[in-house]
Structure 1
Amino acid sequence: MSQNNNELITWGQVLRKTPLVLKSLPRIIKGLKVSNISAADEPCGLGWTFEVATQRNPDGIAVLYEDRRYSYQYFNQRANQIVHYLAARGIGKGDVVGVFLENRPELLVTVLALSKLGAVSAMLNTSQTQNVLIHSINLVKPCAIVIGEELLAAFAEVRDSIDALSRGLYYIADQDTFRDPGEAPSGYLNLMRESLDAPQDAPATTQQIHKDDACFYIYTSGTTGLPKAGIFKHGRWMKTYGGFGIIAMDMQASDVVYSTLPLYHGTGLCVCWGSAIAGAGGFALRRKFSASSFWDDTRTFNATVIGYVGELCRYLLDQPTCPDDLDNPVRKMLGNGLRPGVWGPFKQRFGLEHVCEFYGSSEGNIGFSNILNFDNTIGFSLMPWALVEYDRDKESPVRDNNGFLKKVERGQPGLLLAKIDEKTPLDGYTDPEKTRQVVLENVFESGDRYFNTGDMLRYIGFGHAQFVDRLGDTFRWKGENVSTTEVENLLIQHPRIAEVVVYGVGIPNTNGCAGMAAITLHDPEAPMDMRELLNYAKRQLPPYAVPLFLRIKRDMETTGTFKYQKKSLKQEAFDPTKTGDEPVYAWLPGSDRYVPVNDELFTNIIGGLHRY
């Protein structure tokens, strides 16, 4: 897949940004100072920053949800009561507490209280059940768990398989528990009711939280296996708070961040909420994402900033156009994964001025952000990083004759590595072995250590980079490396295609993996011209990257953070006996269109009758 030189950032583009850079210098300096806590015993973290925001804007609205509004002072006092209550129950610094609630203010006040206490919030994925949920809980050995009524049934199914929980099961009713705590079922303590009589004053423990103390455990999505728990420390919170809220977004008390992203994920919990707190502004929530209600919500909450992941934006763009699309208060957006084909149209249709695309992971030590508002880039990072050559056949970075890794040239894709040192430590996972597996040693000189992100990026000049794909999202066919992300970005521009997921599938007696695309259509009832679709793909893509197989789906399965579930798609491949009522098509050698795959054709393909 070739590099488009038009995507490289030029001197002219940078010079046009000079006034913006000069104007931003004071807040950049402030943000860097806040982000880089040097003293190991300096107070910091989520609880500390919330108290700073409360002092700055006590009567300002901190949290918005449905028709509920909570000021900074009230929300802070309510969190303090929970701190004093849990401390009296024996929960203290370093203890792990599972948090199992859907998006609502009660989740935020619980996490805020635990952070002030110095306890670690294990942010359990609300879509998990059965064995995966058991694994996630037992992995971090919590001393207690806070469960929302909406998830009580899921927890009840696994309760007997949980190892720890020596300090209580805490329940929060699925209602406005700030007004009416409700009643807890037998065996559970009603957290919101029991804490009502506790003191409202600030706990001393908030001042005893330091940069190396863990704040959250945030789980990987588990799309290709059981989840891992990444450690998110309070020092990392400060980098998110300062880097996004102060430097990138210039958040003010008048701003409101609206997020429908799940709060068990770092983008919603840390980036979006942290940015709101940095400005002492509002954080508006919705229980679950709704494309049809999204812009009405922004008007209701008077949201100036939205949190996003790429597919969320595409869902919004797929909604029918409305005369009031531009009539919304949002001017900035903060998130990741926005595709090039969506970037420009989304900004234009909804009147967005600044796309702060960022790159990072909960367990990693590197972050990029698009502070200068260039299009189609994850921005730049002030942390030390490098892009190196990667051998996909050997599944390892390329080393030279001296045993060191080789950097790629500008414009070429390379594996992103982030240097590990005192200024950029790697928090990693709760399992030390999992952490060890992502560390590379002796990279450019003897004794140096780098975090292997597993992601391919492209350097486009002036410190800026573009995301290319994850290593697992690349396959090799006809001796060429095929980037699923790049194929998806091109196919999604077809006017009939609503969603596309590309992956590699095996054909017996061939080398590598053949490309296959699962697609959904804007109008599923209208017949698809399979000759035109193949011609479109052939015009847009090099021959080796054109998908040989297609699967038309009515709906695409995703995780709670809109990541596509590729594992099952790969397993079912192009076998019509496994795809149910979803039709599968093949591009046969020498033909000019995709043709339906029935049992006979499937047998012929895997039997080698058609020579690929």
Structure 2
Amino acid sequence: MCCLSPPARNMFATSAILAAALVAPLLLLLRIFWPYFWKDVRLAANLLRVLLTFAARRRRKPAYLVLDRFLEQAARHADRPFVVFEGATYSYRDADRQSNRIANALRSRCALTQGRTAALFLGNEPAFLFAWLALAKLGCAAALLNCNIRSKSLLHCFGCCGAKVLIAAAELADAVGEIKTSLEREGVTVLVLTRECNTPGFVSFLGDVENASEAPVPRSLRSEVTFRSPAVYIYTSGTTGLPKAAVVNNTRLLAALAVLSSNGVTAEDSVYLNLPLYHTAGFFIGFIGSIEIGSTIILRRKFSASQFWDDCRRHNVTVVQYIGEILRYLCNSPKKDNDKDHKVRLAIGNGLRADVWKEFLNRFGDIEIREFYASTEGNIGFMNDTGKIGAIGRTNFLHKLFPYALIKYDTEVDAPVRDSSGLCIEVGRGETGLLVSKITDIAPFEGYARNKEQTEKKKVCDVSKKGDVYFNSGDLMRIDEDNFIYFQDRVGDTFRWKGENVATTEVSDILTMMEFVEEANVYGVQVPGHEGKIGMAAITIKEDEEPDWESMFSHISSYLPAYAHPRFIRIQNSVEVTATFKQMKVKLVEAGFNPSMVCDPLFFLNDKAKTYIPMTEDIYNSIVSGTIKL
């Protein structure tokens, strides 16, 4: 029963009406002038929660690391499924015990101790996750080797991290065998996850693991590990040369715990992980992100367009990871009546083209797309939590703590444009500029292992004032009037194909190993309907030599992963260079692989014939129309 008198009730009602009359216009103004107000509020709340959690963990003694979060989940939710793989389900308890066995076996077999590094040469399988947890329990860093690399690249990548132990999958033993002599010379112990290995000197490690104790690994074995200690080495092509080992320390990895939780993913979700675990996206988001919230990982060896949605239905998947190419493949797959019959509510990833974004939503239903931008070694990131199609993110208050700039960049001379005082010039709204982010104590750039030269090359000095130092992302961006950020292109000598960065210098080095090749200028060209750029090379032939295209095919197949194969080769009389002897690429890129625009002899890589064949108008038209799949 109301205790207010009639006059008081009338006054209260009048006040409520007046308040509503004032609030309605205010909400209308917010909708007009600040359309993303409530999303910005939600984002601010999420970021504040993440920062407070991160700060609290950083203050804990002893150091609280990602492994500690996993151990908490294993203790609290031991029976909860952690990873589902090819019909087998492993709980958090199973993962804890199996990683204990691997850790104890490593101690017995090769006396791995804290501060050392071991390399993982494994594909997407539970053993990858368990082995990383085992190394973390021993206080060791893990070098995540790309399982597609071979020969010179494999040896180089292994050498970057300073490891003396290599853990390889059984199916990759032959690849390791190609560099066996070099590994033996360096005293490297090769452990193959099989019960029997026919390669002399390699250890059949699976039996050791099966016979090892599952007793917990004492914390004292990792007591000297700090936040600054390397946690993983992840390889990136960067701008030039062979792959580089980006150093990811424990602070960076601890921050990565929040990537799924900050996007509303909970323990009730199942996360579909088909991206490579040796890459940042699969490792940080799918694996580390799931540890924070205790969700279930549905793990696949590799992406399959034909199996994607069937997997999602079978395992009640609610969250998927992507790179732009994956969603494009799904959109290009045959349409089915049950395309919208699934429980996926969130897709998180990067590299999604606007047209594919629209088509994906129209075809597969109301799925929230969280496009983001980040790089393995970079010190800044952006997230698009508004659903704005085409944008990689939006600036927010947090970027006051992580200053960045878009600066004018001369792609011909491959350097920033500077004013009369020697400082960089920021571009205006709507203009394209190179993204650089300030290197500070809270936004460090750890650089590349054993590669000081390339580490320094990624720094830009004197950006906004003399003496400052920024990280060069190598990416061209633009920002619109609503603070949305759009990726435009990459600069330097790297292009991206099939979700992988390809360093042109590395491919060029491989091509010039052929006896008939004098010089090779490698670059990426756009293919209609495809994300990224595909490899092409302009080469010169040595005097009195003739091209041997079958040998060329065999050579690149031995030294390069498939995504780095130059699909088109153009023969020139000489390679054009700039005044500073840098190879000219702009005109070559513009001409592409269209026979009507290229006057030089042009060849196409035919996988079925295992050779290069002359490029024709018919082949060109078949590629453009999609009849020939690349």
- On whether the aligned pair clears a TM of 0.5, the verdict is yes
C-alpha change, 1:372 and 1:422, in structure 2 (3 Å) is same
Aligned pair partner of 2:175 in 135, 145, 154: 154
How many angstroms apart in 2 are the aligned matches of 1:13 and 1:278? 38
1:306–1:330 contact (8 Å) kept in structure 2: yes
1:343–1:375 contact (8 Å) kept in structure 2: yes
What's the CA shift for 1:14? Answer: 8.0
SS in 2 for 1:109: helix
Aligned pair partner of 1:234 in 239, 250, 254: 250
Moved more, 35-44 or 387-396: 35-44
Moved more, 414-423 or 340-349: 340-349
Tell me if 1:276 matches 2:290: yes
How many angstroms apart in 1 are the aligned matches of 2:94 and 2:622? 63
Aligned pair partner of 2:70 in 38, 42, 50: 50
Deviations 1:224-244 (A, max 9, x none): 6421111112211122222x1
SS in 1 for 2:376: coil
How many angstroms apart in 1 are the aligned matches of 2:539 and 2:176? 42
What's the CA shift for 1:309? Answer: 0.9
What's the CA shift for 1:504? Answer: 9.0
Gaps of 5+ in 2: 1-28, 496-522, 541-555, 572-592, 605-611, 624-630
Find the counterpart in structure 1 of residue 412 from structure 2: 393
1:124–1:264 contact (8 Å) kept in structure 2: yes
Aligned pair partner of 1:379 in 393, 396, 401: 393
How many angstroms apart in 2 are the aligned matches of 1:14 and 1:75? 50
C-alpha change, 1:253 and 1:164, in structure 2 (3 Å) is farther
Deviations 1:4-38 (A, max 9, x none): xxxxxx97488444334445555432212344565
How many angstroms apart in 2 are the aligned matches of 1:380 and 1:203? 44
How many angstroms apart in 1 are the aligned matches of 2:239 and 2:171? 24
Find the counterpart in structure 2 of residue 550 from structure 1: none
1:28–1:246 contact (8 Å) kept in structure 2: no
The percent identity for this pair of structures is 31
Q: How many corresponding residue pairs?
A: 507
CA RMSD of aligned residues (A): 3.5
C-alpha change, 1:437 and 1:499, in structure 2 (3 Å) is closer
C-alpha change, 1:120 and 1:406, in structure 2 (3 Å) is same
Tell me if 1:136 matches 2:157: yes
2:120–2:167 contact (8 Å) kept in structure 1: yes
1:219–1:229 contact (8 Å) kept in structure 2: yes
Letter paired with 1:201: P
SS in 2 for 1:578: strand
2:432–2:478 contact (8 Å) kept in structure 1: yes
Aligned pair partner of 2:426 in 393, 400, 407: 407
SS in 2 for 1:291: coil
Aligned pair partner of 2:361 in 347, 357, 360: 347
Letter paired with 1:228: K
2:408–2:434 contact (8 Å) kept in structure 1: yes
How many angstroms apart in 2 are the aligned matches of 1:208 and 1:26? 35
Higher radius of gyration, 1 or 2: 2
What's the CA shift for 1:58? Answer: 2.1
Letter paired with 1:447: G
How many angstroms apart in 2 are the aligned matches of 1:473 and 1:137? 23
Find the counterpart in structure 2 of residue 460 from structure 1: 480
Find the counterpart in structure 2 of residue 203 from structure 1: 218
Find the counterpart in structure 2 of residue 599 from structure 1: none
What's the CA shift for 1:562? Answer: 11
What's the CA shift for 1:184? Answer: 4.7
Find the counterpart in structure 2 of residue 120 from structure 1: 141
How many angstroms apart in 2 are the aligned matches of 1:453 and 1:308? 21
Find the counterpart in structure 1 of residue 25 from structure 2: none
Letter paired with 1:49: R
SS in 1 for 2:178: helix
SS in 2 for 1:75: helix
Find the counterpart in structure 2 of residue 19 from structure 1: 38
Moved more, 66-75 or 40-49: 40-49
Find the counterpart in structure 2 of residue 426 from structure 1: 445
Find the counterpart in structure 1 of residue 515 from structure 2: none
How many angstroms apart in 2 are the aligned matches of 1:342 and 1:231? 33
What's the CA shift for 1:351? Answer: 1.9
Letter paired with 2:324: G
2:602–2:615 contact (8 Å) kept in structure 1: no
1:370–1:377 contact (8 Å) kept in structure 2: yes
SS in 1 for 2:603: coil
C-alpha change, 1:389 and 1:268, in structure 2 (3 Å) is same
How many angstroms apart in 1 are the aligned matches of 2:172 and 2:151? 12
Tell me if 1:417 matches 2:436: yes
Equivalence map 1:130-529=2 (5 Å)? 130-162=151-183, 166=187, 168-173=189-194, 182-185=195-198, 187-195=201-209, 196-204=211-219, 205=221, 208-221=224-237, 225-242=241-258, 244-247=259-262, 249-380=263-394, 382=399, 383-430=402-449, 431-472=451-492, 491-492=528-529, 501=533
How many angstroms apart in 1 are the aligned matches of 2:494 and 2:131? 40
Tell me if 1:91 matches 2:112: yes
SS in 2 for 1:162: helix
C-alpha change, 1:441 and 1:77, in structure 2 (3 Å) is same
SS in 1 for 2:465: coil
1:101–1:147 contact (8 Å) kept in structure 2: yes
1:142–1:164 contact (8 Å) kept in structure 2: no
Find the counterpart in structure 2 of residue 519 from structure 1: none
C-alpha change, 1:23 and 1:359, in structure 2 (3 Å) is closer
What's the CA shift for 1:286? Answer: 0.9
Aligned pair partner of 1:104 in 118, 125, 129: 125
How many angstroms apart in 2 are the aligned matches of 1:503 and 1:166? 37
Moved more, 465-474 or 104-113: 465-474
How many angstroms apart in 1 are the aligned matches of 2:333 and 2:614? 24
How many angstroms apart in 1 are the aligned matches of 2:250 and 2:622? 55
How many angstroms apart in 1 are the aligned matches of 2:33 and 2:103? 48
Letter paired with 1:136: C
Deviations 1:287-345 (A, max 9, x none): 12111111111122221111111111111110010011101121111111111110111
Equivalence map 1:576-591=2 (5 Å)? 576=601, 578-579=603-604, 580-581=612-613, 583-585=615-617
C-alpha change, 1:20 and 1:200, in structure 2 (3 Å) is farther
Letter paired with 2:250: H
How many angstroms apart in 1 are the aligned matches of 2:234 and 2:205? 23
How many angstroms apart in 1 are the aligned matches of 2:531 and 2:416? 32
SS in 2 for 1:131: helix
1:501–1:564 contact (8 Å) kept in structure 2: no
How many angstroms apart in 2 are the aligned matches of 1:293 and 1:595? 27
What's the CA shift for 1:374? Answer: 2.5
Find the counterpart in structure 2 of residue 68 from structure 1: 88
SS in 2 for 1:454: strand
How many angstroms apart in 1 are the aligned matches of 2:334 and 2:622? 31
C-alpha change, 1:239 and 1:164, in structure 2 (3 Å) is farther
Moved more, 368-377 or 313-322: 368-377
Moved more, 356-365 or 96-105: 356-365
How many angstroms apart in 2 are the aligned matches of 1:504 and 1:152? 31
- Structure number with higher relative contact order (C-alpha < 8 Å, ≥ 6 residues apart): 1
C-alpha change, 1:110 and 1:507, in structure 2 (3 Å) is closer
1:256–1:305 contact (8 Å) kept in structure 2: yes
Deviations 1:69-118 (A, max 9, x none): 11112211221232233234421222121111111001110011112222
How many angstroms apart in 2 are the aligned matches of 1:448 and 1:563? 41
Gaps of 5+ in 1: 1-9, 174-181, 476-483, 493-497, 509-556, 587-592, 597-612
C-alpha change, 1:59 and 1:208, in structure 2 (3 Å) is farther
How many angstroms apart in 2 are the aligned matches of 1:304 and 1:13? 33
Deviations 1:544-568 (A, max 9, x none): xxxxxxxxxxxxx99xx99964855
Deviations 1:217-272 (A, max 9, x none): 11124896421111112211122222x1221x222111111121111111111122
Letter paired with 2:179: V
SS in 1 for 2:257: helix
